[in-house]
């Protein structure tokens, strides 16, 4: 495991091009399992998670090539219906291959995803959804087997919580259930779900309502080849925007979709940052200590949970007390302990963080507990006096393409050291 050495006290300055969205690329790659013809996907970020999904596609017999942010996927006529444990252990999003693989092969087996450092993450909505689509589900020795048992005319799937992964999983699976009309109620509305639906529709799927709480899918018997470009990563963009404000810098984010980032933009604005939107560019500038915020983390279009750790890092030096209520992953606060080592003053009570702003953070040695926690520690390190060493930092490369290069271009002084 490598470490990142961050020298604090430098204001970020300059421009940064935002990469394609990891969380759109992963389900779209899972959806290619449904196809009989090759597809080209552009603006794919070169990240560990994307490489893991490629590994899965190759393990079931696909031919995959990745060059300069474009992936070419060529399906195989003889698919294997079993996915090895290792990639699923590494990345939860790989569980979304179960449904499409079971549609193509009649039955499929995928390991249950392992535990996760951001809290309990069950897959019960996925499994219940697949049952509603006519699959039998057996879980034995940590492996889930899904088998297509019934061909149904109409299916209703209701999620108790608008789960991103379960919405994607059911939407992908239902797309190729010929003769079946599926209605998903209380669907997640994230932009990545709309991107996935747009990809599937370009391949010939019939999907209405993606981006709303009700999605309707009319299964088709075949999906054709298409070319698709992944949307910009709103979480990467939000991270750089927060880093810009946190270092009291001035950063132009290029290739962003500001309309996908309204909750984050609003929060930064309320904290005193100046934000200018110009088409696909976003200029973030900040000259003062942030004002404290009351922030509720919620499913899209609410403030994203994947920016909550970074926001806590930022608000650690606010001029007053902030309250951050996490409603998506209620125990996602592992970063708070590490941030405390840098000087954060915070209390945690049942899904809520109360952050008492301090004047400054001070660099020390910390450990990254998960991907976005690592991003929060980078932001804190950039703000802190002196040097911060972030150990076990490699998880950050699951979600941030060219991180050290992009930060260096913004004048940050960061060095990655192999462990
Ligand atoms: C996706 C994102 C992740 C983000 C999260 C919430 C990807 C690859 N990952 O994760 O970065 O943090 O959305 O925006 O896109 N739940 C259940 N049962 C289930 C499924 C979910 O109880 O079967 C619960 C979860 O524990 C959590 C909530 O629903 O409390 C939301 O999780 P979900 O939206 O499914 O997150 P992921 O799709 O795993």
User: pLDDT tens across 149-180, in order?
Assistant: 988 999 999 999 999 999 999 999 999 999 99
pLDDT digits (tens, 9 = 90+) for 339-359: 999 999 999 998 999 999 999
The model's confidence at residue 119, banded by pLDDT at 50, 70 and 90, is low
Q: Which of 26, 144, 164 to mutate to test the pocket of ligand 1 (most atoms within 8 A of CB)?
A: 164
Average pLDDT over residues 3-15: 97
pLDDT computed for residue 314 by the predictor: 98
Q: Give the end of a domain, one of 205, 224, 243.
A: 224
- Judge if 113 and 154 occupy the same domain: yes
Taking the chain, what is the end-to-end CA distance rounded to the nearest angstrom? 5
Q: How far is the CA of 120 from the centre of ligand 1 (A)?
A: 10
Q: Give the end of a domain, one of 224, 259, 288.
A: 224
Could you tell me which of 39, 91, 21, 78 has the C-alpha nearest to residue 235?
21
The runs of H, that is alpha helices, within 60-132 are 85-90, 98-105, 124-132
User: Does residue 398 surpass a pLDDT of 80?
Assistant: yes
- Judge if 179 and 93 occupy the same domain: yes
The model's confidence at residue 232, banded by pLDDT at 50, 70 and 90, is very high
- Judge if 11 and 68 occupy the same domain: no
- Judge if 241 and 175 occupy the same domain: no
Residue 71 burial (CB count, 10 A): 25
- Judge if 205 and 100 occupy the same domain: yes
pLDDT computed for residue 353 by the predictor: 97
Q: Which of 91, 121, 130, 192 to mutate to test the pocket of ligand 1 (most atoms within 8 A of CB)?
A: 121
- Judge if 198 and 284 occupy the same domain: no
Q: Give kind and range of the element (H or E) at residue 250.
A: strand 250-254
Write out the two tokens for 128: 């219940």
User: Does residue 331 surpass a pLDDT of 90?
Assistant: no
In total, how many domains does the chain have?
2
Nearest protein CA to atom 32 of ligand 1, as residue: 163
Locus of tokens 């998506």:
328
User: Does residue 336 surpass a pLDDT of 60?
Assistant: yes
- Judge if 315 and 188 occupy the same domain: no
User: Does residue 86 surpass a pLDDT of 90?
Assistant: no
- Judge if 186 and 321 occupy the same domain: no
pLDDT computed for residue 113 by the predictor: 82
User: Does residue 142 surpass a pLDDT of 90?
Assistant: no
User: Does residue 112 surpass a pLDDT of 90?
Assistant: no
User: Does residue 116 surpass a pLDDT of 80?
Assistant: no
Residue 49 Cα: closest atom of ligand 1: 8
User: Does residue 115 surpass a pLDDT of 60?
Assistant: no
* Residues annotated as part of the active site: 116
- Judge if 42 and 111 occupy the same domain: yes
- Judge if 11 and 31 occupy the same domain: no
Nearest protein CA to atom 4 of ligand 1, as residue: 306
Distance CA 118, CA 261 (A): 22
Lowest mean pLDDT among 82-91, 300-309, 335-344, 404-413: 82-91
User: Does residue 284 surpass a pLDDT of 60?
Assistant: yes
pTM for this predicted structure: 0.97
The model's confidence at residue 120, banded by pLDDT at 50, 70 and 90, is low
Q: How far is the CA of 122 from the centre of ligand 1 (A)?
A: 9
Residue bearing the bigger pLDDT, 158 or 112: 158
The model's confidence at residue 15, banded by pLDDT at 50, 70 and 90, is very high
User: Does residue 127 surpass a pLDDT of 90?
Assistant: yes
Q: Which residues constitute the domain of residue 397?
A: 3-19+232-417
The model's confidence at residue 87, banded by pLDDT at 50, 70 and 90, is confident
User: Does residue 114 surpass a pLDDT of 70?
Assistant: no
Query: What CATH number does residue 213 fall under?
Result: 3.65.10.10
pLDDT computed for residue 69 by the predictor: 97
Q: How far is the CA of 251 from the centre of ligand 1 (A)?
A: 30
User: Does residue 121 surpass a pLDDT of 80?
Assistant: no
Nearest protein CA to atom 1 of ligand 1, as residue: 164
Contact partners, residue 76, CB within 8 Å, separation at least 6: 60, 61, 62, 63
pLDDT computed for residue 90 by the predictor: 83
Q: Give the end of a domain, one of 224, 242, 271.
A: 224
- What residues flank ligand 1, with Cβ below 6 Å? 23, 26, 92-93, 120-126, 161, 163-166, 188, 305-306, 328-329
Q: How far is the CA of 260 from the centre of ligand 1 (A)?
A: 18
Distance CA 88, CA 363 (A): 35
Distance CA 25, CA 233 (A): 10
Using an 8 Å Cβ cutoff, are 92 and 139 in contact? no
- Judge if 143 and 291 occupy the same domain: no
- Judge if 264 and 284 occupy the same domain: yes
pLDDT computed for residue 78 by the predictor: 86
User: Does residue 118 surpass a pLDDT of 60?
Assistant: no
Nearest protein CA to atom 9 of ligand 1, as residue: 23
Q: Give kind and range of the element (H or E) at residue 285.
A: strand 281-285
């Amino acid at each position: 495991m490598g470490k990142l050495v961050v020298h604090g006290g430098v204001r970020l300055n300059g421009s940064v091009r935002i990469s394609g969205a990891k969380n759109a690329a992963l389900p779209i790659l899972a959806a290619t399992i449904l196809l009989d013809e090759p597809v080209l996907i552009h603006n794919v970020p070169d990240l560990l998670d994307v490489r893991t999904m490629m590994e899965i596609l190759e393990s079931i017999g696909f031919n995959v090539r990745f060059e300069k942010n474009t992936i070419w996927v060529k399906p195989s006529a003889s698919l294997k219906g079993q996915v090895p444990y290792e990639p699923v252990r590494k990345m939860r999003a790989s569980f979304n291959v179960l449904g499409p693989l079971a549609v193509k092969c009649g039955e499929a087996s995928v390991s249950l995803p392992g535990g996760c450092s951001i809290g309990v993450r069950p897959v019960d909505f996925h499994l219940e959804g697949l049952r509603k689509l006519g699959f039998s589900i057996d879980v034995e020795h940590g492996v889930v087997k899904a088998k297509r048992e019934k061909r149904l005319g109409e299916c209703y799937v209701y999620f108790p919580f608008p789960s991103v992964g379960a919405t994607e999983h059911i939407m992908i699976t239902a797309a190729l259930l010929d003769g079946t009309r599926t209605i998903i109620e209380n669907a997640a509305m994230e932009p990545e779900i709309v991107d996935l639906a747009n990809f599937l529709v370009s391949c010939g799927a019939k999907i209405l309502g993606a981006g709303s709480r009700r999605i309707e899918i009319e299964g088709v018997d075949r999906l054709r080849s298409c070319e698709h470009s992944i949307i910009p990563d709103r979480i990467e963009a939000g991270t750089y925007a927060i880093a810009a404000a946190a270092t009291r810098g001035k950063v132009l984010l290029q290739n962003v979709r500001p309309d996908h980032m309204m909750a984050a933009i609003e929060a930064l604005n309320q904290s005193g940052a100046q934000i200018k939107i110009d088409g696909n560019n976003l200029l973030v500038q900040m000259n003062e200590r942030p004002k404290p915020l009351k922030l509720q983390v919620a499913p899209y279009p609410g403030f994203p949970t994947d920016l909550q750790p970074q926001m806590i890092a930022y608000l650690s030096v606010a001029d007053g007390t902030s309250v951050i209520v996490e409603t998506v992953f209620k125990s996602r606060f592992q970063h708070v302990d590490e941030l405390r080592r840098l000087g954060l003053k915070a209390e945690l009570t049942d899904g809520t963080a109360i952050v008492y702003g301090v004047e400054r953070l001070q660099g020390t040695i910390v450990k990254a507990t998960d991907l976005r926690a690592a991003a929060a520690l980078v932001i804190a390190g950039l703000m802190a006096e002196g040097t911060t060493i972030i150990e076990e930092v490699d998880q950050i490369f699951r979600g941030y393409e060219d991180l050290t290069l992009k930060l260096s271009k913004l004048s940050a002084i960061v060095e990655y050291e192999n462990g």
